[in-house]
Amino acid sequence: MDDIISLSKRRGFIFRSSEIYNGFQGFYDYGPLGSELKRNIKERWSQRFIRERDDMTSLDSSIIASPKVWEASGHVSGFSDPMCDCKETKTRYRSDQIFFATVTTVGGNKLYLSVVEDEEAEMRKAAKKILKKMKKEAETEITTTLEELVFTNYMDVSEEEQALIPSPATQTMTLTPSRSFNLMFSTSVGAVVDGSSVAYLRPETAQGIFTNFKACQATTRKKLPFGIAQIGKAFRNEITPRNFIFRSREFEQMEIEYFFRPGDEEVWRPVLNDWFRDCRQWLIDVGVDESRMGVEVHAKDKLAHYALACEDVTFRFPFGEQELMGVAARGQYDLKQHEIASGKSQEYFDDELKEKYVPQVVEPSLGVDRLFLALLCSAYAEDVQGGEQRSFLKFAPSIAPVKVAVLPLIKNNEQLMEVAKGLHKKLAKRWNVEFDAAGSIGKRYRRADEIGAPFCITVDFETIEKDNCVTIRDRDSTEQTRVKLEDVVGWLEDEIEDY
């Protein structure tokens, strides 16, 4: 993970927000390459799930909506995480991310140690240091070994036992009682700042789709089943943003609400399965490492209040296996909530059945930033070329931020430079292309490899003196192919756009 974070900053993928002021926790800026990679992700998603389907349309709803939207959806009253603070260090924790283990002494007394992790290996790694310190400072011998530690979530025990759990920061009883913390960012709209001016930055993009369901259906004349897709920013005031861009306070979502007739599991299960299969395959197509992907089916007692079912595609990040994408059956909950709160019918008239009903929904939801990180982790590779260690990014050509690096063999030859610049100008009309004439050709190859450019095109003396061909080098295999100048665009089209 450290290598990926370092490369992200060094090569212009991701910067800490406000870095000249020592950063701002939970916020990140996407640099020259990062913004291009992000755009490619959204473009490929739009292509697959909107333009290539005749049962889809799109929307771009506002970030700030009427507060009544969030009251109706349940976000004002129920969109919260449990939190507690360390009274000594002022560190804030999500209560459900605190785990503790019991330690016993020779006399049979019970002590506790606590960590802030959710992966077994990381919990034991953190506990090892704490246990060593406890054994050194304890007045009586501690008999529990690291292997014997059994971790329990702080939220799974009674309030009486919670009071005995130490703060992960101090390992002493300095935690405040757990309390709810609403995750929505609030703001004020209008000239007067009072209770009536309170509004919220949206914590998800889904509600904008629900409130525009009738308008989208009427203007597009779509028949059920059909879906509305949206890509947009969302904001959550996370208590403990962590793991780089995996959990941040400002992020981007790609969401679909797919509407169809109401019914029991026999109706919605096939729809959920189809979307799950198609979305998972798309993730593989754009370069997510299939060997690191898994599936998590949410237990019924762990579902969100609106969900009939939810299945996640997980990904094994360097910090553990986590959710990458989710597909949820949301039933009729959202449309009915807005119908009740607004007093406006959300019913759809079915021409075939000759009846009105409120549709139910299946929601495929994917975070652009999480996918961005999964693609970086999937693409990062190392090998040895020419006796030297090489680190490079094996992005799929369709998703790579830079498609081609054009390299004149030497920069002090006018003919070479003229041909190379002409080729660069021609290719730049189709793709993001880099021109690099500084340093040896080997160093330029390495620079292109490290930013994930799938192809390097070298213009050499044979190009201008002999065959009018250029050398195209493949990033992954390093194999080189001679291609005529007039055929370069067609050759690249086949390689880049066939994914």
Task: Out of 130-139, 190-199, 243-252, 473-482, pick the least confident.
Answer: 190-199
Task: Out of 117-126, 326-335, 369-378, 418-427, pick the least confident.
Answer: 117-126
Distance (Å, rounded) from C-alpha 410 to C-alpha 408?
5
pLDDT in tens, 344-382: 999 999 999 999 999 999 999 999 999 999 999 999 998
Q: How far is CA 158 from the centre of its chain?
A: 34
* 225-251 average pLDDT score: 91
DSSP class per residue in 437-471: -SS-HHHHHHHHHHTT-SEEEEE-HHIIIIISEEE
What are the E-state strand segments in 271-413?
293-297, 309-317, 320-331, 348-350, 355-357, 360-367, 380-385, 388-393, 404-408
Architecture of domain 31-64+204-377: 2-Layer Sandwich (3.30)
pLDDT in tens, 64-77: 999 999 999 988 87
pLDDT confidence of residue 454: 96
Strands 56-59 and 293-297: unpaired
Pick from 386, 383, 369, 497: nearest CA to 450 = 383
* 458-472 average pLDDT score: 92
Kindly report the CATH number that applies to the domain delimited by 402-497: 3.40.50.800
What are the E-state strand segments in 8-161?
14-16, 28-30, 56-59, 64-65, 80-85, 92-94, 98-104, 110-116, 151-153
Global confidence as pTM = 0.84
pLDDT confidence of residue 30: 95
pLDDT in tens, 161-192: 888 899 988 888 888 888 877 788 989 888 77
Burial group, residue 395, by CB count within 10 angstroms (0-12, 13-18, 19+): buried
Domain boundaries, the chain: 31-64+204-377, 80-181, 402-497
